[in-house]
């Protein structure tokens, strides 16, 4: 006599609803991933509000008095970032919570308790919903700005005879102040390739707007076949006219590459010096140039040139790479970056870029960064 297997027992409706609810809230992420995200958010928020804390004054106080003063200054830092109406609501909610802990005795037996917890919770929820609505609206606008910004930088590297290019950028916010480019000023002629990496002082939308104006100016001037020194001088004069007396300067490295002669002429305008890695592993810094764009309108920029042999590699990067930090606050630094470049395998530009970015990722792990990270690799074949 044979028996057929019993059909599986369907999960209890309540258990299924709880599981679906949790999947919807957590988006299917593991607890370790959620905790890492929370700690990264908490650390970022601590740094954000901590900038308004007078740490120097607090360190002068006795240790037992410091926690109260830190809490008070953090509270004021949070309060002053709200609109006046929301500040009043927040203070009212805190007042109701304090009053709810007070009891009054009437006569010998009667005790009167004031209970405002429910009202305070509603006020806190209202404040949360108002701040969340602002954040969602701003995030939507930033995503639109981010989409526009992606149009300003190449999505795919141009084809270069005898060389290949790879680039990657990771904005700290939805929009970035870093700029990279590789283009032929005259698309019909491939005798002059422009290589650019730049970093606008500041972050988020103001930096992104200046980056857009830099890109437009560069493309316009380069299309006029201006010599590199003249091109940089004109960019600098334009940047000075819109830099708020030097407050919104831009560091940049601009290069002009001839695929036939394999010769690169470059100018470093106050930027992190790109690394010229020879095929034998020797490293050379590309430092010749002048001040950042937007500091002094009459600045004279020097040019330098180098010739790439097969296997030579140029690594352009922004300060967000070497200033990337881990959970302990330790920076990745120039020493680790140069060591990673020195130990590069004999790979193409894309594999080289992945190798270098992986070194940075392994150092910072899930730590949220405070600056954009951009890298461009140009390798001669």
Q: What is the pLDDT of residue 255?
A: 96
Query: In the chain, what percentage of residues exceed pLDDT 70?
Result: 90
Give helix 84-100 / helix 117-152 axis angle, nearest 10°. 150
Whole-number Å distance between alpha carbons of 197 and 375? 8
Residues 6+ positions from 143 with CB-CB distance below 8 Å: 174
**Tens digits of per-residue pLDDT, 253-266?**
999 999 999 999 99
Q: What is the mean pLDDT of residues 339-349?
A: 93
Query: In the chain, what percentage of residues exceed pLDDT 90?
Result: 40
Reported pTM: 0.72
Q: What is the pLDDT of residue 319?
A: 92
**Tens digits of per-residue pLDDT, 74-102?**
889 888 888 899 999 899 988 888 887 77
Vertex 172: Cα angle to 166 and 176 (nearest 5): 65
Mean pLDDT over each residue of the chain, to the nearest integer: 86
**Tens digits of per-residue pLDDT, 104-125?**
666 666 666 667 888 888 888 9
Whole-number Å distance between alpha carbons of 80 and 72? 12
**Tens digits of per-residue pLDDT, 128-146?**
898 888 888 877 776 777 7
Is 80 exceeded by the pLDDT of residue 379? Answer: yes
Q: What is the mean pLDDT of residues 312-321?
A: 95
Start-to-end C-alpha separation, the chain? 75
User: For residues 181 and 256, is the Cβ–Cβ distance under 8 A?
Assistant: no
Task: Tell me the three state secondary structure of residue 248.
Answer: coil
């Amino acid at each position: 006599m044979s028996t057929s297997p019993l059909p599986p027992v369907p999960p209890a409706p309540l258990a299924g609803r709880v599981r679906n609810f949790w999947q919807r809230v957590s988006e299917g992420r593991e607890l370790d991933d959620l905790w890492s995200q929370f700690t990264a958010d908490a650390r970022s928020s601590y740094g954000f509000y901590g900038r308004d804390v007078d740490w120097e004054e607090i360190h002068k106080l006795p240790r037992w008095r410091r926690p109260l003063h830190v809490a008070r200054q953090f509270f004021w830092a949070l309060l002053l970032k709200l609109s006046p109406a929301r500040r009043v609501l927040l203070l009212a909610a805190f007042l109701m919570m304090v009053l709810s802990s007070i009891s009054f005795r009437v006569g010998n037996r009667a005790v009167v308790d004031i209970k405002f917890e429910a009202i305070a919770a509603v006020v806190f929820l209202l404040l949360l919903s108002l701040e969340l609505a602002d954040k969602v609206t701003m995030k939507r606008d930033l995503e639109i700005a981010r989409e526009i910004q992606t149009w300003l930088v190449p999505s795919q590297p141009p084809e270069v005879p005898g060389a290949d290019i790879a680039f990657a950028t990771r904005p700290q916010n939805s929009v970035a102040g870093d700029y990279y480019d590789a283009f032929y000023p005259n698309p019909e002629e491939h005798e002059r390739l422009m290589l650019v990496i730049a970093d606008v002082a500041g972050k988020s939308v103001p930096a992104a707007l200046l980056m857009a104006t830099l890109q437009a100016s560069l493309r316009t001037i380069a299309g006029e076949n201006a010599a590199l020194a003249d091109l940089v001088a004109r960019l600098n004069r334009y940047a000075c006219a819109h830099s708020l007396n030097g407050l919104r300067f831009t560091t940049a490295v601009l290069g002009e590459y001839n695929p036939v002669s394999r010769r690169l002429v470059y100018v470093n305008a106050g930027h992190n010096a790109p690394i010229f890695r020879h095929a034998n592993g020797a490293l050379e810094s590309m430092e010749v140039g002048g001040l950042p764009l937007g500091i002094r309108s009459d600045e004279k920029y020097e040019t330098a040139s180098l010739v790439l042999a097969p296997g030579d590699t140029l690594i352009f990067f922004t300060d967000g790479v070497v200033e990337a930090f881990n959970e302990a606050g330790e920076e990745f630094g120039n020493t680790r970056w140069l060591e990673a470049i020195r130990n590069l395998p004999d790979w193409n530009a894309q594999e080289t870029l992945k190798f270098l970015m992986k070194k940075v990722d392994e150092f910072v792990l899930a730590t949220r960064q405070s600056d954009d990270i951009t890298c461009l690799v140009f390798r001669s074949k």
